[in-house]
Every structure is written in C-alpha cells, then in structure tokens.
Chains A and B, each alone.
Chain A
Amino acid sequence: MSGTYIKRPNRPLQIYAVIFLIVLYTPVLFIPMFSFNDSLYVRFPLQGFTLQWYGELWTREPVWNALWNSIKVGVVVSLISTLLGVVAARAITRYRMPGKSALVTFIMMPLVIPGIIFGVALLVLMSRMGVPLSLYTVTVGHLIVCLPFAVATLLPRFEGFDPSMEEASADLGENGWWTFWRVTFPMVFPGVIASMLLTFTISFDEFIMAFFLTGTDPTLPMYIWGQLRFPQEFPSVLALSSLILFVSFALVFVAQRIGRVGLEDEL
C-alpha cells in the first residue's frame, strides 16, 4: 500500500474507532452479564452470581422443542441455499448470459426490501394455495432470505478462480464431473463451508419471516418473542439469548475466517 503522507497515525480517529467498537459490542454484552445475575429484575446493582437461570432452561421441554425446530430448519436451509448458491455463482462467473446483471439484481432483491413485505407476501401465497403454516413454510421463507447471502459469499470464490485450471484438467482427460469434483470443488470449498455456516446462522436467528410463517411449532426466536410478554421469564430469556449469541458469534467468526482463506490479499 502506498500513501506515504497518511502513514502518520491520527490520534482522534483512533480514539473514535475504539469508542465505536465499544459502543457496538456493549449492548449485546449486557445480555450475558445479567443472565448470571441472581435477581428476577434486570437492574443495577448486580445481586451476585448464579447459574439458576441456565439450570431452569435445561429442564424446559418447549425450549428443547424450539431448539430442535430451529436446527432442523437451519440445516435444511443452509444445505439447499448453499447448493443453489454454488450453482448460481458458477453460472454467473462461468457463462456468458444476456441479462446476467438483471438476474443477479433479482437474486439480491431480498436485501433491499423490508422483510415484513416478504413475510406477508409469502403468507398470502401460502394461504391462497391452502398450504398450512408449518416448519416447511418457515423453511421456504428462510430460503429466500438466505439465498442472496449464499450467492454473495460464493461469488468472490468463483471469481477468483482461474478457468485454465479446469481446462488443464479437461486436457488431461478428466470428464466434466470429475473436473468439478477434483479441481473446482476443492478450490471453492472454503466458500461453501462459509456459506453453509452463515446461512445456518441467519436462519437460526431469523425472526421476521418466521413471525408470519410459523404454524404451531415455534422456532427459537419465536419462542423467545412469546416469552418476552412474561416479566418473570425475563432471566431465563436472558440465559437462552446468551447461549444463542455465543453460538452465532462463534459460527460467524469461523465462517468469516474460512471464507477468506486464500482471498486475504484481495482486501
């Protein structure tokens, strides 16, 4: 990187950056902090350390059901959206297609349309087709939300890919499928893992679509939403939220690291 004049550190900006990060993270950190607080009320001063709220969660049947629902939906969504993402990213980068940029814009549309509109639109579609609301309808909703992220994660992978590698493999006698398996796939593999982790996390945390499309089986965020009405449930909601936050942070952190392997120099 050039830019000799700008090498000199800018103190105020540095301080601003640190404050920015603190403000960005602090709100979320209060949730785990109060989840260990030995009081029904979320307020200072803290009352002492307890694992009581976590213990309560452990024995609750509905929490486990909701968790299992969220995992089922998340796994299916991450597998399908990543598979479709791989296929789409491959088509976008490899083939010359008229109207390609319009197609890409179309795929990315869910990113710039209020989630509520997608939610009600899908709800109306399902009800007109007579499809009862269930985990399947939630899965369809999450698929729409996750696809743009899958494609966006996979595109740079396929773009940074040298097509002459595939040609070499073909010249050496591999057929199309083997070339894909042995040359293309290993090179885009980190992107595939990253996409699966990200789409799983998005689905696992997603609330807006689930709100409109859930039937009788709630996902975990829907369960939390239902519990927010009861003040006495506040501490156990905090405990559950802390666990979810921890898992999401870990998954996304790993996904981001893996997704950039070999692409580090590009940014």
Chain B
Amino acid sequence: MAETSLSQAKADPTPYKGSRLGGLLHRNETLRGYLLMSPTMVIMTVGILVPFIILLVMSFWTREGFGFDTTLTTTNYQRVWTEPIFGALLSRSFWISGVATVATVLLCYPMAYYVAFHVHRNKMMWIILMTLPFWTSYLLRVFAWKVILGYEGVINSGLMSLGLIEAPLEFLLYSQTAVIITLAHAWAAFAILPLYVSLEKIDKSLLEAATDLGDGPVTRFLRITLPLSMPGVIAASFLIFIPTTGDYITPALLGGPDGAMIGNFIQLQFGAVNNWPMGATLSIVLMLWISAIALVFLFVTRKAQEKIA
C-alpha cells in the first residue's frame, strides 16, 4: 500500500498546523477516520478474529460422545504429530499445491510479459479477458474439468471417436495430475495480475540501457527483467500456494483416493466423522505450516535477491 501514503499526504488538510486548536482538530481527523473504519473493523473482527480464537481454543478440546470434553489437552496435537496419516496428508497437500503454484507462475509469466511489453492498445481489454473466468463460480470451473477429464469425458471420448485410443485413459480423472491441472487453471488470474503489475512497473529505459551496453535479449531478461519482476513472482506464489493448500472441492471432485488433501480431511471432521476438535486442530496446524513455509520462502528469496545484487 505505497499509494495510500501518497494520497494521505495529499489529503491532509492541516491549515492550523502548530497551534493547540490545530492539534485538537488534527486528532479529531484521526478520530473521524477511525470512526469511519469502525463498522468494517467490527465485522471483520467478529468474522475473523473471534472465530479464530474459538477455533484455537476448540483445538485443545477432545470429542466426547456427541459433545466435547472441554478440558484443555494437547491430545489432538500429539495425534497429528505421531500418526503418520496426518503427516502424509499434509505433505501431499503441500506437494500438490507447490507443483500447481510453480506450474501456474511459469505458465502465466510469458502471458503477463506479453501484455506488459508487447500490447500497446487495449491493454485493459486484455487484462479483463485474462481475469474474467476467475470471477465465475469456482465450483463450476472445477466441474468443467470433471467433464473434460472424466472416464467418458471430452478428452477420452474425443480421442476414442477419432480412433486414436481403444480404451479410456484412466489416469486422467481421480489422480493428483487432475488436481494439479485443475488448480493451475483455476488460479491463473491470481498469478497474472501481480506478475503483470510488477512487469509493467519496470522502467523501460533500463532495458534500452542494457541493450546499448551490449546485452542480448536473454542476458537482458535474466539480468534486468527477471530480478525486477521478482516481487510479482513472490506475490503470485503466495496468492496461489496459500489458498490451494486448503482446497477441498478440487480433490473431492477430481482427486480420488490418491488426490485427497488435508482440506478433505478437515471437512470430514466437521461432517461425517463429527470430530470438531480434531478438525479445529488440523486447521490450526495447517495455518502454522503455511506460515512457516511462507516465512522460509520469503527468507530464501530475500537471500537470493541479495546475492544477485
């Protein structure tokens, strides 16, 4: 939010600077700002902070019959730590989202690059075109891939009616591949926007300078464009990796047994298994892991950038 500080300076009408009255009015301005913000903040606090605290507390409870034993214990956390299924589910979720994230960023980078550097007219139209599908129902986009990858789906029946294959390819649906393809497709807009913004910001004269100093297109890209667009790459990676690790629609519709992710397991705890405290524990553990991975990722990229510079 670098822009806000700018507009803040612009919008700061303090004609009485220095006097005591001015100070009071100034504080009043701040107060008025907070007052305007308060309804939104109340809703967000009630909707985010309070539920999280309750979720955290519940994660230390245990199930007892149809109710909860509200004595605080770390039983659930111990189970998550010791029973191999949880570790396996978590690492599989991170693996699937990780691959989907890398694939999405790699595939979207050239597209964002094209619009940032090679489209001169109707840029806005291109951006709307690239992000439009993202606004349509996530459920329906996942459903579309089920239609395509299904046992008798578009690809299989298409290839069969063309006579290219005899029997349906079984690996298409209900596999990790299916989940990764669908995630990469569904989250493309989240990669394109930050990549585009960071590429668009690059000062074109730097590129001309590099050319004048004898860099070829490849060296120029590696030495100037790529390092300067790293913030976009990092933002895109976060925006895809974090939400997808908790996804459960895609694995539920397309994953099959091999493609189940931690989100499906959490959903089961709140549904069929009916062990809410365990579900709460898993949600907290997922959050902690995501934060840890995000911090490591930030640290590594920071180090790498320092090395380049």
Contacts and interface: CB of A to CB of B under 8 A. Distances in A.
A1 B143 CA distance: 42
Given A13-B114, A221-B137, A117 B33 contact: no
B87 to A, nearest CB: 19
Contact of B13 (A163, A202, A267): A163
With most chain B CB atoms within 10 A of its CB, the pick from A87, A96, A158 is: A96
Interface string B170-204: 00000000000000010010000000000010001
B42 to A, nearest CB: 10
B246 A16 contact: no
Q: Is the interface of B mostly helix, strand, loop or mixed?
A: helix
Given A43-B152, A84-B39, A116-B248, A27 B48 contact: no
A51 interface: no
Interface string A192-232: 00000010011001011001100000000100110010000
Given A1-B120, A104-B4, A121 B10 contact: no
Interface residues of B, number: 99
B242 A143 contact: no
B124 A267 contact: yes
Interface string B64-78: 000000000000000
A172 interface: no
Interface residues of A, number: 99
A9, A120, A208, A238 pick with most chain B CB within 10 angstroms: A120
Interface on chain A toward B: helix, strand, loop, or mixed SS?
helix
Interface of A: 1-6, 9-10, 13-14, 16-17, 20-21, 23-25, 27-28, 30-31, 34, 41-45, 84-85, 87-88, 90-98, 100-101, 103-104, 106-107, 109-118, 120-125, 128, 140-141, 143-144, 147, 151, 158-159, 163, 167, 198, 201-202, 205, 207-208, 211-212, 221, 224-225, 228, 237-238, 241, 244-245, 248-249, 252-253, 256-257, 260, 264, 267
Closest 5 CB pairs of A and B: A114-B246, A95-B33, A121-B51, A43-B157, A205-B137
Interface of B: 1, 3-4, 7-8, 10-13, 26, 29-30, 32-37, 39-41, 43-44, 47-48, 50-52, 54-55, 58, 107, 110-111, 113-115, 117-118, 120, 123-124, 127-130, 132-133, 135-141, 143-145, 147-148, 150, 152-154, 156-158, 160-161, 185, 188, 200, 204-205, 207-208, 211, 238-239, 242-249, 253, 263, 266-267, 270, 276, 279-280, 283, 286-287, 290
